[in-house]
Chains A and B, each alone.
Chain A
Amino acid sequence: MQSQQAYAVEMQSIYKYFDDFCALNAVNLKVKKGSIHALLGENGAGKTTLMNVLYGLYKADSGRILINGEQVEMKNPNVAIEHKIGMVHQHFKLVENFTVVQNIMLGKEVSKAGFVLDISRARKQVVELSKTYGLTVDPDAKIEDISVGMQQRVEILKALYRGVEILILDEPTAVLTPQEINELVNIMRNLTEGGKTIIIITHKLKEIKKSSEYCTIIRRGKYIDTVDVKNVTEQQLASMMVGREVNLVVAKTKTNPGDVVFRIDNLTVEDSRKIERVKELSLSVRKGEIVGIAGIDGNGQKELVEAITCLTKVKAGRISINGVDLQNTSPHNVIKNGITTIHEDRHKRGLVLDFPVKYNLILENYNRPRFAGHAILHEQAIHKFAQDSISRYDIRPENCASELARALSGGNQQKVIIARELSDNPELLLAFQPTRGLDVGAIEFIHSALIKHRDSGHSILLISFELDEIMNVSDRICVLYDGRIVAEFQQGEVDENGIGLLMAGGERKNGI
């Protein structure tokens, strides 16, 4: 009884089925009060599902949940909130045109005289909370005007405002810049010092080492182990999670790139508010080369990608592949000329969530003779192709061809997109945050797929906010800052610190 008291959360032998599919198979989780506890597992392992069960969003088919030693039936999130559990979802749930304070008090409004909103009181509480835990935000800024990292703070504040003692963070760092991640780790420390308990889902082993005391590993819905983070290495964590040895850095040979295939000359692009986001940018990619663009989110990456894919108009400059101008034509034309794209926002640009997986796998090619003749879809060929892609790219569950893309876990959705974009052997693959939200096993796989694509004589333009990814995969590295390429290096000419400095707007210098 006494030892039980020390646990803020105990989940015992949790089962959860989706139809016949067993997403959680006797999973256990014990979280010590006042600790930061990481939850690690491959894409589709069941992490989000487990947390949704804890938060009352899904009901377990069997198993017990104890909060502070007391058994609780988590019928719905209201029960969870009563027990002071809060959850920050991977996709934030904020009202875009409300201010920070308005968002935080939404659903728990304080009022004067019974019906007049008492915003100033709420505002005071919010300011106090953010001071206590170092969660600096502008309480009066509108959500649409603040960065993703700030939005996340708002979500955390929202939970704290409701008096949360146990905080669940589902992949909080997938959308953050390295600096923001460090700040988040500090905030988490402040919270546990204040007696709160934190469960964090993340794929980034480095962060687990940095932030957490304990780590529970689940694999394909089964409980594997709970370890003391001090006593394990990143490599050990990775192999426990995947069930085999994982190369955190994919081996690759040096290339001898050929002629320039793709080039951008003096490109200028404005965003929807007519602010220049890309400024006279020039770069080129050669045959058989991976060019990585390092940079912090918001320095023009999004506009650059939209300009290349013709989803937005270019103000000035040229974009060309094999000498053919592409700027201001159509997405269709870009694809026809051999450029395919992995977009950053997979739910918006990447997938038709309410289409089955197999239809998503042919989104750009449904018209090809392979999949259709006389305007009629060849269902069998499509299905076979899907089966093929699913096993080649290890998309799970393996019988998902006819399932809606919506039912896949985030990481597996990403694999569907990658499978599709590489299926046609594009001359240039434009990869924007290709491994966002993927587990280390999957990242290893994607990185080797990229390198294989390069080795077969094709080119890749990789845009990523993950400096590690840029460093590991690229043959040539460009640093993007404020809409310009401020420096360019060959692989091996520079280390992470040097690039990190340039990314943050440090002294402009030329590596070549």
Chain B
Amino acid sequence: MGSKIAELLNKTATKIILAIVLGFIAGALALAVAGYDPGTSYSMMFTSIFSSPQNMIQVLILTMPNILTGLSVAFAFKTGLFNIGGEGQYIVGAIAAVMVGGVLNLPPVINVIVIVLVAFVAAGLYGALAGFLKAKFGIHEVITTIMLNWIALYLNNYLVSLPGIGVKNTEYSFPIKQSAWTNVLNGWKTSPHGQAYLSTHPALSTILLGTDINYGIIIAIVVAIAVSFLLYRTTFGYQIRAVGLNKDAAEAAGIRVKKSIVMTMFIAGGLSGLAGALQMTGTLPHALVTLANQPGYGFNGITVALMANSSPIGCIFTALLLSALQFGGSTIQMNLGAPSEVVNIMIGVIVFFVAVASMFTMISERIKRRRVKIAG
């Protein structure tokens, strides 16, 4: 049975890889049309990431929120819900983290755990609100989550403008206490002993002091595995997948469909909120900032989930791909003047071909048929 599942996974994975290859081809065409050499551009994107450890770490830092918002979208998808509210849930998670993290003073590890849990619950409730409106009144979640995104953004800006919260004459709020930061070797690198050590080890120093290197990505990967477990191994996952695949049959079987919808949106919201919280604890300025625009991670999550065909484990890889492409795209723009929109084209093509992956099945059927004919 295990081999069968492996075979299946394999097939989906192959399809996605094929889609990615097609995306790269489309990107190359676009670059060529725009008058840039695709070879040079791609190699620059690639080498820019691997040219320095800082850049690699930068990509990983970008990847963390993308994994979590991707999981948020993918999870909601399983119940047949389209969670466009990642942006707002991310902001609510960040707000909760800063509000709690700015005042709380617990022992280091417990401190972080409490902050993250509070943020998860706050953003979860924010997501659950959309779920509730859907379950109770049938208002479509796409509409409510988009509106909630804007409400969260203005709430954020309002809070930053408040005297007790915002720092006077800046666009920042007060920061999270340093004891709650999730940066690697957070305490040690600022201690006198650590500083002395780092001054003689420049390579390590550029990583630890020159970047926001933090544990977020590890947490995100663990969460992805946990979400996968929740979906495929638990009764709760069974229940929400049943609702997503056939609401009427689930209802007839006594599954509480409305409750499932609210619970799913709670978890989906919590996952996006977690991204916001870990971003606050892990990267500078460790504080809320006045936002002119949505932070973008929630929308990235949609792309990540679509590319991964809503597989939680898949989200880890597609988030990494997306982050690398976005990072690489900005470097070709900077260095070659090539349009970074090429990256958007590539991503669009990948999403498109994942969506029409059944096409690959058809091709494989045809090949199989030909083989049978020759054999017969």
Of B155-163, B237-245, B261-269, the stretch lying at the interface with chain A is B237-245
Residues from 192 to 249 in B contacting A, C-beta threshold 8 Å = 233-236, 238-239, 241-242, 245-246, 248-249
Complex interface bits, B318-357 against A, C-beta within 8 A gives 1, otherwise 0: 0000000000000000000000000000000000000000
Interface range on chain A (Cβ under 8 Å from partner): 35 or more
Contact of A335 with B by CB under 8 A:
yes
Contact of B165 with A by CB under 8 A:
no
Residue in B241, B252, B372 whose beta carbon sits within 8 Å of that of A341 in the complex: B252
Asked if residues B246 and A353 are in contact (CB atoms below 8 Å), the reply is yes
Besides the contacts A331-B252, A376-B235, A379-B233, what 14 more A-B pairs have beta carbons closer than 8 Å?
Answer: A17-B372, A61-B373, A62-B372, A309-B252, A330-B256, A341-B252, A350-B249, A352-B242, A355-B242, A363-B242, A366-B238, A375-B235, A377-B238, A402-B4
Asked if residues B249 and A349 are in contact (CB atoms below 8 Å), the reply is yes
Asked if residues A402 and B1 are in contact (CB atoms below 8 Å), the reply is yes
Which A residues lie within 8 Å of B373 (CB)? Answer: 61-62
In the assembly, what is the distance between CA of A62 and CA of B248, in Å?
40
Which B residues lie within 8 Å of A341 (CB)? Answer: 252
Asked if residues A335 and B254 are in contact (CB atoms below 8 Å), the reply is yes
Asked if residues B241 and A355 are in contact (CB atoms below 8 Å), the reply is yes
Complex interface bits, B346-376 against A, C-beta within 8 A gives 1, otherwise 0: 0000000000000000000000010011001
Q: In the complex where A331-B254, A332-B254 touch, is A351 in contact with B249 (Cβ < 8 A)?
A: yes
Contact of B251 with A by CB under 8 A:
yes
Asked if residues A377 and B233 are in contact (CB atoms below 8 Å), the reply is yes
Residue in B238, B239, B251, B369 whose beta carbon sits within 8 Å of that of A59 in the complex: B369
Contact of B6 with A by CB under 8 A:
no
Contact of B253 with A by CB under 8 A:
yes
In the assembly, what is the distance between CA of A366 and CA of B248, in Å?
17
Task: Name 13 A/B residue pairs within 8 A (Cβ), A-sorted.
Answer: A61-B372, A331-B253, A332-B256, A334-B254, A351-B246, A353-B245, A355-B242, A366-B235, A366-B239, A376-B233, A377-B233, A377-B235, A379-B233
In the assembly, what is the distance between CA of A61 and CA of B233, in Å?
38
Residues from 319 to 375 in A contacting B, C-beta threshold 8 Å = 330-332, 334-336, 341, 343, 348-355, 359, 363-364, 366-367, 372, 375
Which A residues lie within 8 Å of B250 (CB)? Answer: 352, 363
Q: Which residue on chain B has the smallest CB distance to residue A346?
A: B249
In the assembly, what is the distance between CA of A34 and CA of B239, in Å?
53
In the assembly, what is the distance between CA of A364 and CA of B246, in Å?
14
Q: How far is the CB of A401 from chain B (nearest CB, A)?
A: 9
Contact of A311 with B by CB under 8 A:
yes
Q: How far is the CB of A321 from chain B (nearest CB, A)?
A: 15
Report, nearest first, the 10 A-B pairs whose CB atoms are least far apart. A332-B254, A363-B253, A349-B252, A335-B254, A352-B246, A62-B376, A364-B253, A331-B254, A61-B372, A354-B245
Q: Which residue on chain A has the smallest CB distance to residue B252?
A: A349
Which A residues lie within 8 Å of B236 (CB)? Answer: 375
Q: Which residue on chain B has the smallest CB distance to residue A355?
A: B245
Which A residues lie within 8 Å of B255 (CB)? Answer: 332, 363
Residues from 1 to 49 in B contacting A, C-beta threshold 8 Å = 1, 4
Asked if residues B372 and A375 are in contact (CB atoms below 8 Å), the reply is no
In the assembly, what is the distance between CA of A402 and CA of B252, in Å?
23
Which A residues lie within 8 Å of B4 (CB)? Answer: 402
Number of interface residues of B (CB under 8 A): 25
Asked if residues B248 and A348 are in contact (CB atoms below 8 Å), the reply is yes
In the assembly, what is the distance between CA of A402 and CA of B256, in Å?
25
Q: How far is the CB of B255 from chain A (nearest CB, A)?
A: 8
Q: How far is the CB of A91 from chain B (nearest CB, A)?
A: 15
Which B residues lie within 8 Å of A331 (CB)? Answer: 251-254
In the assembly, what is the distance between CA of A167 and CA of B370, in Å?
30
Q: In the complex where A61-B376, A350-B249 touch, is A330 in contact with B369 (Cβ < 8 A)?
A: no
Asked if residues B1 and A352 are in contact (CB atoms below 8 Å), the reply is no
Which A residues lie within 8 Å of B256 (CB)? Answer: 330, 332
Q: How far is the CB of A369 from chain B (nearest CB, A)?
A: 11
In the assembly, what is the distance between CA of A178 and CA of B239, in Å?
40
Which B residues lie within 8 Å of A377 (CB)? Answer: 233-235, 238
Asked if residues B251 and A61 are in contact (CB atoms below 8 Å), the reply is no
Which B residues lie within 8 Å of A366 (CB)? Answer: 235, 238-239
Q: Which residue on chain A has the smallest CB distance to residue B369?
A: A59
Residue in B249, B369, B376 whose beta carbon sits within 8 Å of that of A363 in the complex: B249
Complex interface bits, A448-461 against B, C-beta within 8 A gives 1, otherwise 0: 00000000000000
Q: How far is the CB of A413 from chain B (nearest CB, A)?
A: 12
Complex interface bits, A364-405 against B, C-beta within 8 A gives 1, otherwise 0: 101100001001110100010000000000000000001000
Q: Which residue on chain A has the smallest CB distance to residue B251?
A: A331
Which B residues lie within 8 Å of A351 (CB)? Answer: 246, 249
Which A residues lie within 8 Å of B249 (CB)? Answer: 348-352, 363
Asked if residues B245 and A372 are in contact (CB atoms below 8 Å), the reply is no
In the assembly, what is the distance between CA of A277 and CA of B241, in Å?
34
Q: How far is the CB of A331 from chain B (nearest CB, A)?
A: 5
In the assembly, what is the distance between CA of A367 and CA of B242, in Å?
13
Asked if residues A352 and B254 are in contact (CB atoms below 8 Å), the reply is no
In the assembly, what is the distance between CA of A474 and CA of B233, in Å?
42
Which A residues lie within 8 Å of B235 (CB)? Answer: 366-367, 372, 375-377
Q: How far is the CB of B78 from chain A (nearest CB, A)?
A: 11
Asked if residues B248 and A375 are in contact (CB atoms below 8 Å), the reply is no
In the assembly, what is the distance between CA of A431 and CA of B234, in Å?
31
In the assembly, what is the distance between CA of A372 and CA of B238, in Å?
11
Q: Which residue on chain B has the smallest CB distance to residue A333?
A: B254
Which B residues lie within 8 Å of A372 (CB)? Answer: 234-235
In the assembly, what is the distance between CA of A459 and CA of B249, in Å?
24
Q: In the complex where A62-B373, A348-B248, A363-B249 touch, is A330 in contact with B238 (Cβ < 8 A)?
A: no
In the assembly, what is the distance between CA of A17 and CA of B254, in Å?
37
Q: In the complex where A61-B369, A62-B376, A355-B245 touch, is A364 in contact with B233 (Cβ < 8 A)?
A: no
Q: How far is the CB of A92 from chain B (nearest CB, A)?
A: 19
In the assembly, what is the distance between CA of A145 and CA of B235, in Å?
41
Which B residues lie within 8 Å of A61 (CB)? Answer: 369, 372-373, 376
Q: Which residue on chain A has the smallest CB distance to residue B238?
A: A366
Q: Which residue on chain B has the smallest CB distance to residue A61?
A: B372
In the assembly, what is the distance between CA of A353 and CA of B256, in Å?
19
In the assembly, what is the distance between CA of A311 and CA of B252, in Å?
7
Q: How far is the CB of B253 from chain A (nearest CB, A)?
A: 4
Which B residues lie within 8 Å of A363 (CB)? Answer: 242, 249-250, 253, 255
Which A residues lie within 8 Å of B252 (CB)? Answer: 309, 311, 331, 341, 343, 349-350
Which A residues lie within 8 Å of B372 (CB)? Answer: 17, 61-62
In the assembly, what is the distance between CA of A372 and CA of B369, in Å?
42
Q: In the complex where A61-B369, A377-B235 touch, is A364 in contact with B245 (Cβ < 8 A)?
A: no
Which B residues lie within 8 Å of A352 (CB)? Answer: 242, 245-246, 249-250
Asked if residues A330 and B242 are in contact (CB atoms below 8 Å), the reply is no
In the assembly, what is the distance between CA of A341 and CA of B254, in Å?
11
Q: Which residue on chain B has the smallest CB distance to residue A365?
A: B253
Q: How far is the CB of B278 from chain A (nearest CB, A)?
A: 26
In the assembly, what is the distance between CA of A355 and CA of B255, in Å?
15
Q: Which residue on chain B has the smallest CB distance to residue A417?
A: B249
